[in-house]
Amino acid sequence: MHTSVREMTCTKQIFSKRVCIQVGRLVGAAFTSCRRFHAEIVRLESSGLPIIHHGKYVCDLPANHRFPMGKFPRVLQCLLKDQVIAENQVWLPEIASQELLSCVHTEEYLNSFINGKVNEQEQRRTGFPWSEGIVSRCRYETGGTVLAAEVALQRGLACSTAGGTHHAFPSFGSGFCLLNDLAVAAKHLMGTSSSKRKVLIVDLDVHQGDGTAFIFQEEPRVFTFSVHCGKNFPLRKQQSDLDVSLEDGLEDKEYLSTVETHLPCLLETFRPDLVLYDAGVDPHREDELGRLRLTDHGLYQRDLYVLKTVVSRGIPVAAVIGGGYSRDIDILAARHSIIHRAATQVWRECLT
């Protein structure tokens, strides 16, 4: 295992900061109430954990495309079927406007992506053929992560059923990621606060959050923490504020102990006003793209630990599902629903 923290002279200086401180409606007919996008008009319509979901999180892909697009609606179906959540817990995000996206992405990139002027080489890099559907999907997904963050600030905890597109850079998409929802949410939430909130991004997807790390490398109010398998994509890593690079084949116990080693210290030193949590399930032993060996139980313990550790300090947390790859969409959706199940437990134990 290799851990690298940026030099102490970096703009964030988490340890010296410590010294300073010490000295909706679901799309479909079943839902009747539509919750609005902005946190100030959030209404108290359910006492349950807020789940952010939109029917437009999904779009058509060519037959046999290897990205498991069908997982997004299936995660919600799985949660409802198993009665983990009720329908009135579902919040409907708005589509992310071009103006909102421009807090992270360049105007040139947004114009070409939104208007379909993406060349073949760029499409190969993202893994997706361009379509109006994919643009819409990514914009709703980003709106969902922003709403999750806004609602988390009001309620303490919220989870989307998509999100975690951490390989997207300001001027290009990469590795199934076209818009960086985590970065947009972090920038948006910082920008709407008069006191300039600090955001900690905890990225436990098996792949490094390279786009997010790049976007915030000079931003002292966002701390990027990535735990990933060193041999996984991307080949060329960016530098997060804290990277923990894991060896292939790591199992539950060692993985959890790695997270436990770093997270409390980051919370105490950086003292975020909001945590964005990418709960990717691709560290799972059966994941088609990951190289680690976590079990479902290990992922549950991980998510429970992260959420409890953050929430018990009174810090709001918004979770997104991150990466997960399997040809069996039902198995994959159930795996992604682990974060919502863990969040439900934390909600009941700590927030009600």
Residues interacting with Zn ion, by CB under 5 A? 205, 207, 280, 282, 323
d(CA 272, CA 314): 10
Return d(Cα 36, Cα 18) in angstroms, integer. Answer: 37
Q: How far is the CB of 311 from Zn ion (least distance, A)?
A: 24
What crossing angle do the helices spanning 252-270 and 14-22 adopt, rounded to 10°? 50
- Under a CB-based contact definition with an 8 Å cutoff, are residues 34 and 92 in contact? yes
Q: Closest separation between CB of residue 235 and Zn ion, Å? A: 14
In sequence order, the β-bridge partners of residue 274 are 199
Token pair recorded at residue 147: 């709403």
Q: Report the 10 Å Cβ neighbour count for 115.
A: 11
Query: For residue 228, what are its two tokens?
Result: 């990933």
The smaller minimum CB distance to Zn ion, of residues 150 and 282, is found at 282
CA distance 127 to 177: 8
CB of 280 to Zn ion, least distance (A): 5
Number of CB atoms found within 10 A of residue 185's CB:
32
Listed residue (204, 205, 292, 203) closest to 251, CA to CA: 292
- Which C-beta is closer to Zn ion: that of 143 or that of 283? 283
Q: How far is the CB of 329 from Zn ion (least distance, A)?
A: 17
Cβ-based nearer residue to Zn ion, 137 or 155: 137
Q: Which is nearer to Zn ion, 143 or 323 (CB)?
A: 323
Report, in Å, the least distance between residue 202 CB and Zn ion.
14
Closer Cβ to Zn ion, 52 or 204, answer by number: 204
Q: Hey, what amino acid is at 168?
A: A
CB of 52 to Zn ion, least distance (A): 20
**Residue 233: CB minimum distance to Zn ion, A:** 8
Contact 272, 223 (CB under 8 A): yes
Residue 96 vs 206, nearer CB to Zn ion:
206
How far is it, in rounded angstroms, from Cα 208 to Cα 235?
Answer: 10
CA 239 to chain centre: 18
CB 323 to Zn ion: min, Å: 3
Contacts of 203 (CB under 8 A, 6+ apart): 164, 166, 182, 209, 212, 224, 225, 226, 227, 228, 240, 278, 280, 322
Name which of 85 and 182 has its Cβ closer to Zn ion: 182
Tell me whether residue 89 or residue 226 sits nearer to Zn ion (CB atom).
226
Q: Which residue is nearest to Zn ion (CB)?
A: 323
